[in-house]
Structure 1
Amino acid sequence: MIHMTYQGYVFDAYGTLFDVHSVMEKIHQHYPDHGDTISQEWRSRQIHYFLVRQMVNGYRPFSDITQWALLDALAYSGVEVKPDIVEDLMKQYEKLTPYPEVNDLNDRYPDHTFTIFSNGTHSMLQPLLENNQLTDTFGLLSADDPKVYKPHPDAYKHAEEKLGFEKEDVLFFSSNPWDITGAASYGFHTAWVNRNDQKWPELGIEPTYIINDLTNIPE
């Protein structure tokens, strides 16, 4: 049964609120004709690497994971790796572009409590919110505080404790199936933001809702 009244609306950041591939334009400036490949490899390796570190109980901050993934994506693409370019591309994670409907989310739902819960560190996420004038829209929780990544249940437990709501009163949004699976397994209600019109993977767990974007969120 779908629970129709939620007290907490919690959002993943990367790929859900912010377009991780908006870095592509900057990549093209440094490496013409390699933007798409590097961007795709960067994101794929970023996810792969933090999941591996989680499996071996070897937590490292998401900023480290992100830089390692970038270095390997550049190496994979066969381009010259220069420290100043790496630094410039890493700074782009503080300037990711929000999806269009994110900017007025607070205006459309003024009575809702919105919180980001991300694997990103506070030092990555706070500038991202500031650069996009979204600090008044979202509270901020980071997996860097408990030192355990989503989709581990302890990560969602940390979020529940910080939110102060019962898990059944939380609706969690993510574009990442692994994140939705983790949140649903923990007991949150979930909304998969299926921006690319994909099939939900056969994971034995279904999201509460499937939506295409955040224009009209379940209430």
Structure 2
Amino acid sequence: MTITTCIFDAYGTLFDVASAARRKAEQPGQGALAEVWAGLAEDWRRKQLEYSWLRAITGEHVPFWDVTQDALDWAMEHHGLDDLELREDLLALYWQLAPYREVPKLLAQLKALGKTCAILSNGSPDMLEGAVDSAGIGLYLDAVLSVEEVGVFKPARAVYDMVGARFGTEPSEVLFVSSNGWDAAGAAGYGFTTAWVNRAGLPVDRLPARPGHILTDLTTIPELL
């Protein structure tokens, strides 16, 4: 079937999750953060994902905002940052994550091609609304889907079910794009055509399914259609 619908993960795919720590570290008086911001951002994201998986396995779901705060607390303690004001500033910046530079142009191209475009994310609805508004990309999106509708994090199949339920598509009509190899693999196993945006040049995850396409950024997405 022809691809009619392009579904994007949000964090790390459309939005640069390291930008909150980077932007704060660039501010005056942030010497301690400036020394460790890259490691902090990496640990923050890693623990955020780990906590989402563990909660999915145990059935103890909470909004992604809770997971995000817990992950930051772990990362700050790990890097010796005991600063409540810094914590609040970093969390505030997470609602305004910078989009990757190619994102607005890409989404505009896809809409010009007549494709349906949407986000499917672990993020809480209010978090996603803040990021989309801050990035100015809402006019290109037909929907912003949050796992809060089904109460479990990716890669649970119930999350991928949301696409067909919303748009009436068959899996073969969907291109699913994620910067997370495990997410792209999960979506591939579900039946979507998938693209893994492997910005870091990582090995392919050893999982039952593999991403259909591996890209270094989002610019070549239209060629897959």
Please classify the TM superposition score into its range, dividing by the shorter chain length: over 0.9
Match of 2:55 in 1: 53
2:64 to 62, 65, 71: 62
The ranges of structure 1 where at least 4 consecutive aligned residues each deviate by more than 4 angstroms after the TM superposition are none
Please give the TM-score of this superposition, normalised by the length of structure 2.
0.91
2:185 counterpart of 1:181: yes
Q: Is the 8 A contact 1:71 1:81 kept in 2?
A: no
2:217 counterpart of 1:213: yes
Query: Percent same amino acid among aligned pairs?
Result: 37
Match of 1:93 in 2: 94
* Counterpart Cα distance in 1 of 2:86 and 2:203: 36
Give structure 1 stretches of 5+ with no counterpart: none
1:76-95 C-alpha deviation (Å, 9 max, x unpaired): 1111131x322211111111
Q: Pairwise mapping of residues 10-159 of structure 1 onto structure 2 (< 5 A)?
A: 10-28=7-25, 29=27, 30=30, 31-82=33-84, 84-109=85-110, 110=112, 111-138=114-141, 139-159=143-163
1:126-148 C-alpha deviation (Å, 9 max, x unpaired): 11111111011122100011111
Please give the TM-score of this superposition, normalised by the length of structure 1.
0.93
Q: Is the 8 A contact 1:27 1:89 kept in 2?
A: yes
**Local SS of the residue matching 2:139:** coil
Corresponding letter in the other structure for 2:34: P
Q: Is the 8 A contact 1:42 1:73 kept in 2?
A: yes
Corresponding letter in the other structure for 2:13: T
Corresponding letter in the other structure for 2:176: F
1:158-206 C-alpha deviation (Å, 9 max, x unpaired): 2321122111111100010111121112111111111122221222322
Q: Is the 8 A contact 2:119 2:144 kept in 1?
A: yes
Change in 2 beyond 3 A, CA 1:102/1:154: same
**Local SS of the residue matching 2:145:** strand
1:169 to 173, 187, 193: 173
